Amino acid sequence: EVQLVESGGGLVQPGGSLRLSCAASGFSFSSYSMNWVRQAPGKGLEWVSYISTTGSAIYYADSVKGRFTISRDNAKNSLYLQMNSLRDEDTAVYYCAREVYPGNYFDSWGQGTLVTVSS
Amino acid sequence: SYELTQPPSVSVSPGQTASITCSGDKLGDRYVCWYQQKPGQSPVLVIYQDNKRPSGIPERFSGSNSGNTATLTISGTQAMDEADYYCQAWDNTTPVFGGGTKLTVL
């Protein structure tokens, strides 16, 4: 069974940093590209970042470019999101999602971890 | 940037057919997928590549995509189908989500 388990969320002050993790199991993690998608309270889904299987290709949403860094450790079956210079508008539930190719759709999602940016 | 537009809400009576639209410029030239999200839960893929159903998704869920509009159709809608639904397509290397549609079964 595919499992994605996020962790690392919490309350942080504006300007602070946080590192999210996503532990993958039940599939060959190194064979899949991965993404972070977030959802602000009461709002819709917003894509945040993408990383290819080897980490050679990385993309970010304009809203987080220069502040967030995605990475992965295939040996540890883990995905990460380093978030710096956090803003109020970064408050959201952050999901990691497995991307299937071809078709480029997200077939598995974690349960999400809540990040709250507030003073 | 590419935008996908969904109606904020759709209502349907139990047993009837619900249609949720997703509009975007030349959307028919792109693959569309749909996600269902119930309150407090993570999104679940219900349609991919316009009209394919993942294993475990009931046959009452179907999809189509042509011109500027993609449509998620739920036939014989059940109370358990009440949820938010999001369409998604790609703009080059960036996935784009629609704003979401709240489906109410009443």
Give, for all 106 residues of chain B, the pLDDT tens digit. 899 999 999 999 999 999 999 999 999 999 999 999 999 999 999 999 999 999 999 999 999 999 999 999 999 999 999 999 999 999 988 999 999 999 999 9
A44/B86 CB distance under 8 A: yes
- Which sign, positive or negative, has the C-alpha torsion A19, B90, A112, A10? positive
> What whole-number distance in Å separates Cα of residue B80 and Cα of residue B40?
14
Q: Smallest CA–CA separation between A98 and chain B, in Å?
A: 11
Nearest-by-Cβ selection for B90 from A37, A95, A104: A104
The DSSP bridge partners found for residue B64 are: B71
Contact by Cβ (8 Å): B35, B41: no
Contact by Cβ (8 Å): B100, B4: no
The residue of B3, B6, B9, B42 whose CB has the most chain A CBs within 10 angstroms, and thus the best one to mutate to test that interface, is B42
Cis ω for the linkage preceding B14 (within 30 of 0): no
> What whole-number distance in Å separates Cα of residue A51 and Cα of residue A60?
9
Q: Which residues of B touch A109 (CB under 8 A)?
A: 42-44
